[in-house]
């Protein structure tokens, strides 16, 4: 039996997630745009993109409450980048008037922590145990595109990856590192984009 995994396909890098999901044996990848499509999947990926736009489209299409109940029902959700912001309980650096968040993950994120598009970068980070269990124990490539970072996380949130700041950043932010991947139960969020690498472990 194949497991149906949905990718929220309102905006952003959903095609890249679909492409990689289709390479995983036993997975049926489904683009999710409607309530019916959402109800048909066992788990959901919220891709990177622009979290304010994604929230607006979800609101206009009446999908926001459906997405909220999906996460509340204990179904697995993984948010990458904008998806991480969407899953957060609180976000700093929001547009005027705020933006709708799905919530569910007890984290506060800074929306554009790593700066503008031009400050996007790639690095290698140590693989957490849950990723190592899917094959190799090698570091993973972490692609940050106008990426958020987690400023604080609740006590039940498991930290999966952290990024060490440059000395001048450390001074500016008064901290040595920031959290870039978290998990709480079946909710997971990564500030980077594993769908842009060929590493299927995430």
Ligand X SMILES: NC(=O)CC[C@H](N)C(=O)O
Enumerate binding residues for ligand X (CB under 6 A).
Answer: 48-51, 81-82, 85, 111-112, 145-146, 148
To the nearest 10 degrees (0 to 180), the angle between helices 64-72 and 51-60 is 100
Q: How far is the CB of 162 from ligand X (least distance, A)?
A: 19
Q: How far is the CB of 36 from ligand X (least distance, A)?
A: 26
Burial grade of 42 (CB within 10 A; 0-12, 13-18, 19 or more): middle
From 16, 17, 37, 81, the catalytic residue: 81
Beta bridge pairs of residue 190: 80, 181
28 is catalytic: no
The answer to whether the annotation marks 145 as part of a ligand binding site is: yes
The DSSP H or E segment spanning 192 is none
C-alpha 192/C-alpha 189 separation (Å) is 9
Helix (H, G, I), strand (E, B) or coil at 72: helix
Name the CA dihedral angle for 132, 191, 92, 56, rounded to a multiple of 10 degrees: -120
From 16, 17, 37, 193, the catalytic residue: 193
The answer to whether the annotation marks 146 as part of a ligand binding site is: yes
Helix (H, G, I), strand (E, B) or coil at 26: coil
Q: How far is the CB of 17 from ligand X (least distance, A)?
A: 12
Of 63 and 110, CB closest to ligand X: 110
Of 96 and 167, CB closest to ligand X: 96
17 is catalytic: no
Of 45 and 81, CB closest to ligand X: 81
The answer to whether the annotation marks 49 as part of a ligand binding site is: yes
Of 1 and 118, CB closest to ligand X: 118
Query: What is the CA 14 to chain-centroid distance, rounded?
Result: 12
195 is catalytic: yes
Task: Enumerate the known binding-site residues for L-glutamine.
Answer: 49-51, 111, 145-146
Active site residues: 81, 193, 195
């Amino acid at each position: 039996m194949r497991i149906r995994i949905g990718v929220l396909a309102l905006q952003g890098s959903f095609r890249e997630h679909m492409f990689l999901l289709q390479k995983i044996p036993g997975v049926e990848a489904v683009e999710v745009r409607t309530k019916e499509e959402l109800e048909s999947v066992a788990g959901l990926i919220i891709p990177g993109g622009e979290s304010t736009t994604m929230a607006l489209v979800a609101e206009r299409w009446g999908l926001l409450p459906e997405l909220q109940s999906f996460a509340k029902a204990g179904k697995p959700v993984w948010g990458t980048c904008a998806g991480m912001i969407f899953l957060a309980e609180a976000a700093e650096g929001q547009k005027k008037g705020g933006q709708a968040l799905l919530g569910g993950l007890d984290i506060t994120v800074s929306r554009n922590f790593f700066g503008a598009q031009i400050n996007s970068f790639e690095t290698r980070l140590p693989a957490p145990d849950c990723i190592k269990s899917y094959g190799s124990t090698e570091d993973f490539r972490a692609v940050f595109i106008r990426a958020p970072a987690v400023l604080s996380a609740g006590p039940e949130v498991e930290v999966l990856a952290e990024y060490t700041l440059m000395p001048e950043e450390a001074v500016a932010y008064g901290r040595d590192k920031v959290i870039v991947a978290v998990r709480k139960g079946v909710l997971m969020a990564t500030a980077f984009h594993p769908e842009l690498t060929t590493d299927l472990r995430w």
